[in-house]
């Protein structure tokens, strides 16, 4: 086995977004087999000694945001926009050459930068670089532009066709769900390996420790309260109104709906509507994003910032009533922490997760009395609940653990190296 230098390329490797989290898991698997990972991005929290940060590679860079604004929502683009895209692509291509030379990269893993056009110049730069070098590339696709309404009307269809993703012989494509795999084959005529999101189910989850033991108290809960966890951002596609309807139907004042994340940059109208709905339904809903951050830490004033994984051990029930998800990390986390979970049967759940036989409380877009009764049973019947969550943990270990990722990554690396190992 020859050790390889792996070059991860993306717009951002920082925080707890899905791309950053999954890329860390990939790097861990590769490191277990003595392959060293290096990072190229516009924003990074990775080890600076193994990273190359190019500010213009970040989708939030002012020049890139301006290009994105001019590219979508209308059909005609100005000559100036074409020049901007091409000039930035040429500059970024030079930095990619520098990155490969600096760290002696053997295989490049592009994380989401060749599928969703949040950064058109980077996608174009990568396409040119790969075409010029015949570099071995694994393109890990989390979201495609055709899955998002905001990209449908655009003035850059030529760039989208060329680079998102490109059809080049040295690229191996990886998709996170079967619908994306099929659509990629249909639209681009390229095959891909299905690489679902995973968690380390072979390692027991962290529990309540000295740092997070006071989480319930900090958010104002009493020992008798029932913590119903909504571990998502506050955006309409998360369907949080269904969680409110559920608690309204259950009518148990001990139940508190705890929402972990903020609404972010998508405005507060949805959050305000949820607050009004909760008040009308007599539901105690609490937003605790000021207590929950990317990583746990103690502030200078002695107050604590908990991680998302500090919240799960305290949860009695998890709600995940999303209308749409690319895969569903929070669902895997509920299985991992052995928590009963409510799921709205979003399309990827129906095709890629449900057929495995998981035991969840499922709804089809609306709440029913029967479902509320099922939730009540799960909350009151300890033996039934324990059997349910243990079954889910063991099943997830078979289908969504690191061993699955290890096996599929091995095959992709082997296709480049000719060695039957990572």
Q: Which of 162, 158, 122 is nearest to 12 (CA)?
A: 122
Total structural domains within the chain? 2
pLDDT at 144: 96
Are 222 and 255 spatial neighbours (Cβ–Cβ below 8 Å)? no
Are 238 and 321 spatial neighbours (Cβ–Cβ below 8 Å)? yes
Instruction: Measure the CA–CA gap between 248 and 228, rounded to whole angstroms.
Output: 13
Instruction: Measure the CA–CA gap between 400 and 68, rounded to whole angstroms.
Output: 35
Helix, strand, or coil here: 57? helix
What predicted TM-score, i.e. pTM, was given to this entire model? Answer: 0.89
Is residue 37 within a helix (H) or strand (E), and if so which, with residue range?
strand 36-41
Residue 205 domain flag = no
pLDDT at 302: 81
Residue 182 domain flag = yes
Supply the CATH number for residue 273's domain.
Answer: 3.40.50.2000
Residue 422 domain flag = no
pLDDT at 391: 98
Query: CA-based angle 311:142:182, to the nearest 5?
Result: 130
pLDDT band (50, 70, 90) for residue 32: confident
Are 296 and 212 spatial neighbours (Cβ–Cβ below 8 Å)? yes
Instruction: Please indicate, yes or no, whether residues 243 and 321 belong to a single structural domain of this protein.
Output: yes
Residue 91 domain flag = yes
Judging by beta carbons within 10 Å of its beta carbon (0-12, 13-18, 19+), is residue 233 exposed, middle or buried?
middle
Q: Which of 270, 235, 230 is nearest to 246 (CA)?
A: 230
Instruction: Please indicate, yes or no, whether residues 178 and 298 belong to a single structural domain of this protein.
Output: no
- Kindly tell me the sign of the dihedral angle through the C-alpha atoms of 397, 402, 406, 408: positive
Instruction: Please indicate, yes or no, whether residues 183 and 251 belong to a single structural domain of this protein.
Output: no
Q: Which of 363, 357, 352 is nearest to 326 (CA)?
A: 352
Instruction: Please indicate, yes or no, whether residues 162 and 16 belong to a single structural domain of this protein.
Output: yes
Range of the domain at 151: 5-198+402-417
- In this prediction, residues 70-95 reach a mean pLDDT of 97
Contacts of 31 (CB under 8 A, 6+ apart): 37
Instruction: Please indicate, yes or no, whether residues 361 and 406 belong to a single structural domain of this protein.
Output: no
Residue 3 has pLDDT above 90, yes or no: no
- Ordered DSSP codes for 220-245: T--TT-EEEEE-S-S-GGG-HHHHHH
- Within 13 Å, how many C-alpha atoms sit on residue 92's CB side? 32
Q: Which of 99, 224, 103, 84 is nearest to 155 (CA)?
A: 84
Residue 11 domain flag = yes
Instruction: Measure the CA–CA gap between 311 and 308, rounded to whole angstroms.
Output: 5
Residue 1 has pLDDT above 60, yes or no: no
pLDDT at 86: 98
pLDDT at 117: 97
Instruction: Please indicate, yes or no, whether residues 169 and 223 belong to a single structural domain of this protein.
Output: no
Residue 12 domain flag = yes
Are 140 and 22 spatial neighbours (Cβ–Cβ below 8 Å)? yes
Residue 204 domain flag = no
pLDDT at 301: 85
Instruction: Please indicate, yes or no, whether residues 33 and 68 belong to a single structural domain of this protein.
Output: yes
Are 147 and 181 spatial neighbours (Cβ–Cβ below 8 Å)? no
The two three-digit tokens of residue 200, written as one number: 């380390």
Instruction: Please indicate, yes or no, whether residues 165 and 281 belong to a single structural domain of this protein.
Output: no
Instruction: Please indicate, yes or no, whether residues 318 and 251 belong to a single structural domain of this protein.
Output: yes
Instruction: Please indicate, yes or no, whether residues 234 and 162 belong to a single structural domain of this protein.
Output: no
Instruction: Please indicate, yes or no, whether residues 382 and 406 belong to a single structural domain of this protein.
Output: no
pLDDT at 404: 93
Tell me the per-residue pLDDT of 146-170, one tens digit each, with 9 for 90 and over. Answer: 999 999 999 999 999 999 999 999 9
pLDDT at 300: 86
- Ordered DSSP codes for 159-203: HHHHHSS---TTEEEEESSHHHHHHHHHHH---EEE----B-TTS
Query: How far from 219 is each of 21, 116, 177, 210, 406, CA to CA, in Å?
Result: 26, 37, 36, 17, 39
Residue 219 domain flag = yes
Instruction: Please indicate, yes or no, whether residues 263 and 316 belong to a single structural domain of this protein.
Output: yes
Instruction: Measure the CA–CA gap between 5 and 333, rounded to whole angstroms.
Output: 31
Q: What is the Rg, in whole angstroms, of the alpha carbon atoms belonging to the chain?
A: 23
Tell me the per-residue pLDDT of 392-403, one tens digit each, with 9 for 90 and over. Answer: 999 999 999 999
pLDDT band (50, 70, 90) for residue 419: confident
């Amino acid at each position: 086995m020859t050790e390889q230098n792996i070059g991860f390329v993306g717009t951002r490797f920082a925080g707890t977004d899905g791309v950053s989290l999954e890329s860390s898991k990939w790097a861990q698997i590769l490191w277990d087999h003595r392959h060293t990972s290096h990072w190229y991005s516009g924003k990074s929290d990775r080890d600076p000694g193994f990273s190359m940060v190019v500010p213009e590679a970040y989708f939030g860079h002012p020049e890139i945001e301006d290009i994105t604004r001019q590219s979508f929502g209308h059909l005609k683009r100005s000559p100036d926009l074409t020049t901007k895209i091409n000039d930035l692509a040429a500059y970024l291509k030079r930095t990619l050459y520098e990155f490969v030379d600096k760290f002696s990269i053997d295989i490049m893993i592009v994380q989401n930068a060749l599928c969703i056009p949040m950064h058109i110049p980077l996608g174009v730069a990568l396409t040119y670089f790969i075409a010029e070098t015949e570099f071995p590339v694994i393109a890990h696709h989390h979201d495609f532009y055709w899955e998002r309404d905001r990209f449908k009307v655009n003035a850059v269809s030529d760039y989208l066709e060329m680079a998102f993703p490109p059809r080049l012989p040295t690229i191996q494509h990886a998709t996170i769900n079967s619908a994306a795999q099929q659509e990629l084959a249909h639209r681009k005529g390229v095959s891909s390996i299905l690489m679902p999101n995973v968690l380390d189910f072979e390692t027991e989850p962290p529990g309540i420790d000295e740092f997070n033991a006071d989480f319930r108290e900090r958010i104002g809960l009493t020992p008798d309260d029932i913590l119903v966890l909504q571990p998502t951002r506050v955006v309409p596609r998360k369907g949080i109104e269904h969680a409110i309807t559920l608690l309204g139907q259950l009518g148990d004042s001990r139940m508190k709906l705890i929402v972990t994340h903020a609404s972010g940059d998508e405005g507060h109208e949805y959050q305000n509507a949820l607050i009004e709905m909760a008040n009308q339904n007599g539901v105690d809903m609490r937003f605790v994003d000021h207590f929950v951050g990317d990583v746990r830490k103690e502030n200078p004033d002695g107050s604590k910032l908990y991680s998302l994984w500090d919240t799960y051990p305290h949860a009695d029930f998890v709600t995940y009533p999303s209308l749409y998800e690319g895969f569903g990390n929070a669902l895997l986390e509920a299985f991992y922490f052995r928590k009963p979970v409510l799921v709205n049967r979003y399309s990827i759940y129906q095709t890629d997760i449900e057929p495995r036989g998981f035991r969840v409380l499922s709804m089809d877009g609306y709440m029913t009395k029967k479902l509320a009764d099922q939730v009540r049973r799960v909350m009151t019947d300890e033996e039934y609940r324990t059997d349910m969550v243990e079954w889910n943990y063991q099943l997830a270990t078979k289908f969504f653990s690191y061993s699955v990722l290890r096996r599929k990554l091995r095959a992709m690396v082997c296709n480049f190296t000719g060695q039957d190992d990572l």
